[in-house]
Amino acid sequence: MLPEEFDLSGRVAVVTGGGTGIGKATARLLAKRGADVAIAGRKADVLEDAAREIREETGGKCLAVPTDVRKPEACKALMEKVAEEFGRIDILINNAGGAHGHVGLSKIDLAKWDRDVQLNLSAAQYCAQAALPCLKKSKGCIVNISSLAGVHGTQGVGAYSAAKAGLQMLTRVMAAEWGPAGIRVNCVAPGMTATEKATAGWDERGYDAMQACSNFPLRRYGEMDEVAQAIAFFASDAASYVTGETLAVGGGPQIGGMIEVET
């Protein structure tokens, strides 16, 4: 039996980008903990498959709502659909994101810059603002999904890095402005994580992900369920007095030194 502070029974969660990767893992975990879940994304077939899997695995409710979160009116329609179906919204996970290609800032196509900023930053505001009336009623919470690229920066994905950094500041401002209404807003910043998309990219490029992690304290990349656990913490009453924070889930700080230190 779950400790009371982690039990999400009776709550309704919306997870954007919920058809695959970290979003799907998070939706599954929230459903396991008792929440009714709605997953949103652009690909209806992928969403329906994910929703069916989550229902079969957890026995809970999972609604698939095809949505392009880059469009404010679509975000509004998403929240209206979920509220109509489940009667309330308690948790919003702003997980939709991604980078359009890898290229330096001197050569980036400005339309791709705009798409990355819209998807990784603006969409979170669109969804949060649309969900706000319901979240005020439920005194709910928002978890924004950033990236360690937004903490340290990553060459070749400048727009993505900048947008994810902006999402962390948006988290702080949302927390300050909406805290008096009883709404908590926090952020999770995953590092290298073995999502389906990431592992396919590693295989395609012959990228040795474990070697790339050799300077991480934990010496490995993360799994989707490990990131989902951090997200679920912020969504639960276990984090009832935490707001405006960003939690890195990336295998530890990469700190150099002047000597080799034995464990």
Positions annotated as catalytic residues are 160
**Are the C-beta atoms of residues 14 and 79 closer than 8 Å to each other?**
yes
Task: Provide DSSP, the chain.
Answer: ---GGG--TT-EEEEETTTSHHHHHHHHHHHHTT-EEEEEES-HHHHHHHHHHHHHHHSS-EEEEE--TTSHHHHHHHHHHHHHHHS---EEEE-----S--B-TTT--HHHHHHHHIIIIIHHHHHHHHHHHHHHHHT-EEEEE--THHHH--TTBHHHHHHHHHHHHHHHHHHHHHGGGT-EEEEEEE-SB--HHHHHHHHHHT--HHHHTTTSTT-S-B-HHHHHHHHHHHHSGGGTT--S-EEEESSS-----SS----
